[in-house]
Amino acid sequence: MNILLLGSGGREHALAWKITQSEKIDKLYIAPGNAGTSELGENVNLNLSDFSKIKKFAIEKNVELVVVGPEQPLVDGIADYFLEDKSLKNISVIGPVKAGAILEGSKDFAKEFMSKYNIPTASYKSFSKASINEGKAFLEEVSSPYVLKADGLAAGKGVLILEDLEEAKKSLEEMLQGQFGKASDTVVIEEFLSGIELSVFVLTDGKSYKILPEAKDYKRIGEADTGLNTGGMGAVSPVPFADKGFMDKVEERVIKPTIEGLINENIDYKGFVFFGLIKVGEDPFVIEYNVRMGDPETEVVVPRIKSDIVDLFLHVKNETLEKAKIEFNPEACATVMMVSGGYPGNYEKGKKIEIPEINDSLVFHAGTKYDSSDIVTNGGRVIAVSSYGKDIFEALKKSYQNVDSIQFDGKYYRSDIGFDLK
């Protein structure tokens, strides 16, 4: 079967790596892909917001499955577009319809959904320009630190955590005045939760689900979790503090009611659900939903899946996931993200990358491309080096050895991934 994978990051390289191990795959197309994915299939230059071009390409190339990496096309309704078009009835999309993608596309919707289905999350209220004064009064009632979230997609930058009340009021004003464009027309103000974060993933066919290995991601640019937020600087799986007792609570209190809620709302959800969780004491709370896999979490989760991922996708398509067997690799996996100097602020692209032959790690490309026969940097996050180990620390050691051997001008990485888990 031919598959079209949408996206261009480390997540997509890891998915492409796994998809091409399936016996069921004939040809993999990746749009737009990166230098790494071009070694596994054919990169195609499609604009992910141009659904009619994607449709034309999929029909022309006999694509049967479209796997959507990033959230934007899902929030824009790519799954609906394929479902509604009769000429596309033989092509299935792995990724939820718009009514499901809004779990990530609107924090206000996600909060309402959680409150309706009794899913533990921070208490909150939402405000718009018309209710700005109520918003400021609410900030006076709650205590510091203040958590302000743009309702819509804001490229991971829409959450502000402020200590000072006056600063929080000023930020609320700025957000409602369009600091994040339309994404902050509504602002969610919520209770600050103190704990340790982790990411839990499920694959669902809209009826049942399979829980994938959990992961912990390191979002800040600086060592010891300091400095600006990034897309993610490294990840580990498994997460030592996510023991069986805790994961049972996650399933009972978070995963089950979410899937049941989706069914109850008649939302046709076929794809990944990413639960951004925080462990407060011994209890899980949902910080956010994402409707896709995480990046760089995919670079540690997917290597730990033993089963054929295309098989699992077909079970999702046919709504037979309940019957599917899913096996995991008991080894740990860790990834270290190499980024361009200056990221997440301004950085230069086009730096030549030297990659020696590496046999004991998986080198997943993110922002890379071919410039004639050279591989050059093409984004902030450049390469994720993933390794297996008997535990995450052994895996990290291998990743760091190989990170040392990959060179490009301005290369930066955090040398303390996993520091808080020792």
- Considering the complex, what minimum distance in angstroms separates the CB of residue 147 from ligand AMP? 4
Q: Looking at beta carbons only, is 156 or 350 nearer to ligand GLY?
A: 156
Task: Specify the DSSP element, H or E, that contains 217.
Answer: strand 216-217
Do 194 and 127 touch, CB atoms closer than 8 A?
A: no
Strands (E), 33-83: 42-43, 63-68
Per-residue b/e over 98-117, b at no fewer than 16 CB within 10 Å? bbbbbbbbbbbbbbebbeeb
287 binds, options ligand AMP, ligand GLY, none, Cβ within 5 to 8 A by partner type: ligand AMP
Instruction: For residue 276, state whether it binds ligand AMP (rule: CB under 6 A).
Output: yes
Do 243 and 276 touch, CB atoms closer than 8 A?
A: no
Site string for ligand AMP, 353-392 (x = CB under 6 A): ----------------------------------------
Instruction: For residue 104, state whether it binds ligand AMP (rule: CB under 6 A).
Output: no
Q: Looking at beta carbons only, is 10 or 120 nearer to ligand GLY?
A: 10
Q: Looking at beta carbons only, is 30 or 198 nearer to ligand AMP?
A: 198
Residue type at position 181: G
Instruction: For residue 339, state whether it binds ligand AMP (rule: CB under 6 A).
Output: no
Q: Looking at beta carbons only, is 152 or 238 nearer to ligand AMP?
A: 152
Angle at 60 between CA 58 and CA 66, to 5 degrees: 15
Q: Please, which of residues 172-211 interact with ligand AMP by CB under 6 A?
A: 190-193, 197
Applying CB under 6 A, which part among 19-27, 109-117, 287-295, 382-390 lies near ligand GLY?
287-295
- Number of Cβ within 10 Å of residue 372's Cβ equals 5
Select the residue interacting with ligand GLY from 73, 120, 294, 344 (CB under 6 A). 294
Instruction: Retrieve residue 206's tokens.
Output: 């809209």
366 binds, options ligand AMP, ligand GLY, none, Cβ within 5 to 8 A by partner type: none
**Alpha helices of 244-334 — where are they, by DSSP H?**
244-249, 256-264, 298-301, 309-318
295 binds, options ligand GLY, ligand AMP, none, Cβ within 5 to 8 A by partner type: ligand GLY
* C-alpha–C-alpha distance, residues 340 and 353, integer Å: 11
* C-alpha–C-alpha distance, residues 417 and 218, integer Å: 7
Instruction: Retrieve residue 320's tokens.
Output: 């037979």
Query: Which residues form the interface with ligand AMP (CB under 6 A)?
Result: 122, 147, 149, 159, 190-193, 197, 219, 276, 287-288
Query: Which residues form the interface with ligand GLY (CB under 6 A)?
Result: 217, 231-232, 290, 294-295, 297
